Amino acid sequence: MFGIISKSLKTGVVTTGYPDTPAEVSSHARGKPQIDWAGWKDARPAAAVCPTGAIETRDESGARAVTLDLGKCIFCGLCADVDPAIRMTNQRALAAPSRESLRQTARYGLNADGTQQPLLAAPAASDAKPESLETVGRQLRARIQAVLGRSLHIREVDAGSCNGCEVEIHGLNSPVYDIERFGIHFVASPRHADMLLVTGPVTRNMELALKKTYDATPDPRLVVAVGACGCSAGIFGRNYATCGAVDAVIPVDLYIPGCPPHPLVILDGLLRLLGRLEDRR
């Protein structure tokens, strides 16, 4: 017993100070690709190597629309390897209230040789997420506080994930992230839950189970899709074994992209949803 107490005292507090202090994410962590939209001359090589179709080009009437879908991006960096207009960042806090706000689209003139220039329309400012996320967070906070007070109970549902997201979600309960200090608890039954945290492309074997879990969760229930697969079906897409993203089966209130999302990114998304981050600031 003395040994345990002595070890605890020597170890000290390991819990992150986030959100009171800035989140510390390793500089080696890979986040969203940053695109030089104005200088981008040809999106085709990057689109060709992107394994999830996160970069898409559409040519029509002498113009090209190029879309970067952060809900599909797995931060693999292959696009940055073939295209000098793209660089990888460690920016990972990308939670958004709608799939549309995870898409960035630019329009270019289309040249005879297939390259693109000039930039006709940069991605709309509304494509940037934080404001809309705060807005949804405020609305949902009012909804949550009216009914739930300040605590939140989460039922995690693995609808077909590789378990990468589960490892990160599990980390939320570790002493480092300690999600329970915010009054957020994971529960075993959807009947005790206010929120479903759903991972994975929804496999056809899990489709009915997910629907039943959603139906068993009392109103007002919230659904958060976690990871590229939960947001967009990711690398798997829709096929004989999967129904696609979580929102193909049940309504989703918040999308947290990443492959997998860092625990701080999940925490950030949940806190923004609850409006607590905003309160503390």
Residue in the block written with tokens 């695109």: 35
Work out how close the CB of 52 gets to ligand SF4 at its nearest, in angstroms, rounded to a whole number. Answer: 5
Phi-psi region of 172 (alpha: psi -120 to 50; beta: other; left: phi over 0): alpha
Work out how close the CB of 244 gets to ligand SF4 at its nearest, in angstroms, rounded to a whole number. Answer: 17
Q: Which is nearer to ligand SF4, 128 or 208 (CB)?
A: 128
Q: Which is nearer to ligand SF4, 179 or 226 (CB)?
A: 226
Work out how close the CB of 83 gets to ligand SF4 at its nearest, in angstroms, rounded to a whole number. Answer: 9
Q: Which is nearer to ligand SF4, 33 or 230 (CB)?
A: 33
Q: Which is nearer to ligand SF4, 78 or 187 (CB)?
A: 78
Q: Read off φ and ψ for residue 248, nearest 5 degrees.
A: -80, -15
Half-sphere exposure of 5 (CA within 13 A, CB side): 2
Q: Which is nearer to ligand SF4, 103 or 272 (CB)?
A: 103
* Contact call for residues 78 and 86 (beta carbons, < 8 A): no
3-state SS record for the chain: CHHHHHHHHHHCCCCCCCCCCCCCCCCCCCCCEEECCCCCCCCHHHHHHCCCCCEEEEEECCEEEEEEECCCCCCCCHHHHHCCCEEECCCCCCCECCCHHHEEEEEEEECCCCCEEEEEECCCHHHCCHHHHHHHHHHHHHHHHHHHCCCEEEEEEECCCCCHHHHHHHHCCCCCCCHHHHCEEECCCHHHCCEEEEECCEEHHHHHHHHHHHHHCCCCCEEEEEHHHHHHCCCCCCCCCEEECHHHCCCCCEEECCCCCCHHHHHHHHHHHHCHHHHHC
Work out how close the CB of 90 gets to ligand SF4 at its nearest, in angstroms, rounded to a whole number. Answer: 13
Q: Which is nearer to ligand SF4, 83 or 158 (CB)?
A: 83
Work out how close the CB of 219 gets to ligand SF4 at its nearest, in angstroms, rounded to a whole number. Answer: 36
Q: Which is nearer to ligand SF4, 127 or 253 (CB)?
A: 127
Work out how close the CB of 41 gets to ligand SF4 at its nearest, in angstroms, rounded to a whole number. Answer: 17
Binding site for ligand SF4 (CB under 6 A): 33, 49-52, 54-55, 73-79
Work out how close the CB of 45 gets to ligand SF4 at its nearest, in angstroms, rounded to a whole number. Answer: 10
